[in-house]
Amino acid sequence: MPAPKSERLLNLLIMLLVQRRPIAKERIRELLYPDSRPDAFEKMFERDKDELRSLGVPVDVATIDPLFEDEVGYRIPPEAFALPDVELTPEEAAVVGLASRVWQHATMAQATSDAVRKLSAAGIDVDLDALDIAQPLLTAEEPGFEKCWLAVCERTEIEFDYQRPGADAPLTRHVQPWGVVRHAGRWYLVGYDRDRADERVFRLSRVQGEVRLVGPPGAYDVPEDTDVRSIARRLAPPTATEHAVLLVREGAGHGFRRSATRVEVGVPGPDERTRWDRVELVRQAQGLADDVLGHGPDVVILEPAAVRAQVVARLTEVVGCAS
């Protein structure tokens, strides 16, 4: 059975990116499309190649051997695929940071490892440094995240059992997913609820069991001008807020600074390599530990005490695993 389209594109991207030399089309078929007939392979390969190029991926065609110019192969030059140095505003950097959280979902990391292992086992000379252009940082822990994200990408309807607060038992919901978004420290699925005939948001941590794909890809269209983040803010239930106090290294923590109620500059910090600022803000405690840890040694949380304890416990666990 052919691999799902998203997996096939990811494997093709990785294969062409880690090549030190162009790889022949027949070799690509052997490794990535082994169960396809020659005519089916030609169609799938051309579609996949065009789709990568439509996403801005530079798929190059070059001769494999200078002495035989009629034998061509394919490769993605890392230097052409990598982004040049970009200066971002704090708001733009926050958006890029959120996008990286999605890409760094554990499934993507596993898919990359599987693809590289498959290539190495086949005797392909791979350049692992080329993969540094997309390095993982954060993950989404909800079990339903992978299927929901796949359904959003492929426009496939889904169904799942959803436990609402106060309900005796979960109800099965049928949804056309429009997007997956992080709001107030939680992951939400935004989409059209066919049972309610209206747009709805679903907190992924309340999904019971597996998310099930229903029907073929491309079964629906997302309405034009849909802003899933705005919908999540409007429909998600309000979350209790707390007063937080952070020590933030100079030049770091722009997301915290942007929502701060008070910033005191030049205060004593954990080290003297740079200046530190004391940042106070009011926000949801849910997800605050994740955001602090995501800044590494550049942010230290002082209050609330419960969230500080979470951060300390998780860092202690990491140190224990490394020792």
- Residue 203 has a pLDDT of 92
- Residue 113 has a pLDDT of 53
pLDDT in tens, 99-134: 444 444 444 555 555 555 555 555 555 555 554 444
- Which of 285, 253, 290, 287 has its CA nearest to residue 269? 253
The CATH class, in words, for 145-235 is mainly beta
Q: How far apart are CA 115 and CA 139, in angstroms?
A: 20
- Coil, helix or strand at residue 222: coil
- Residue 1 has a pLDDT of 44
Q: How far apart are CA 199 and CA 194, in angstroms?
A: 9
The alpha-carbon radius of gyration of the chain (Å, integer) is 23
Instruction: Express as a percent the part of the chain with pLDDT over 90.
Output: 28
> What are the structure tokens assigned to 133, written together?
């252009």
What residues are paired with 263 via a beta bridge? Answer: 279
pLDDT in tens, 301-317: 999 999 999 999 988 88
Please state, as a whole number, how many other Cβ atoms lie within 10 Å of the Cβ of residue 99: 10
pLDDT value at 187 more than 50: yes
What residues are paired with 68 via a beta bridge? Answer: 65
CATH 2.30.30: which residues of the chain? Answer: 145-235
Please provide the DSSP assignment of 273-315 as one string.
Answer: SS-EEEEEEEEESTTHHHHHHTTGGGEEEEESHHHHHHHHHHH
Q: How far apart are CA 213 and CA 124, in angstroms?
A: 35
The answer to whether 222 and 178 are in contact (CB under 8 A) is yes
- Coil, helix or strand at residue 252: coil
With cut-offs at 50, 70 and 90, classify the pLDDT of residue 287: confident
Mean pLDDT of 273-292: 87
Q: How far apart are CA 318 and CA 192, in angstroms?
A: 40
Highest averaged pLDDT of the listed ranges 47-51, 52-56, 106-110, 152-156: 152-156
Mean pLDDT of 25-33: 86
pLDDT value at 284 more than 70: yes
pLDDT value at 136 more than 50: no
Mean pLDDT of 82-110: 50
The answer to whether 212 and 160 are in contact (CB under 8 A) is yes
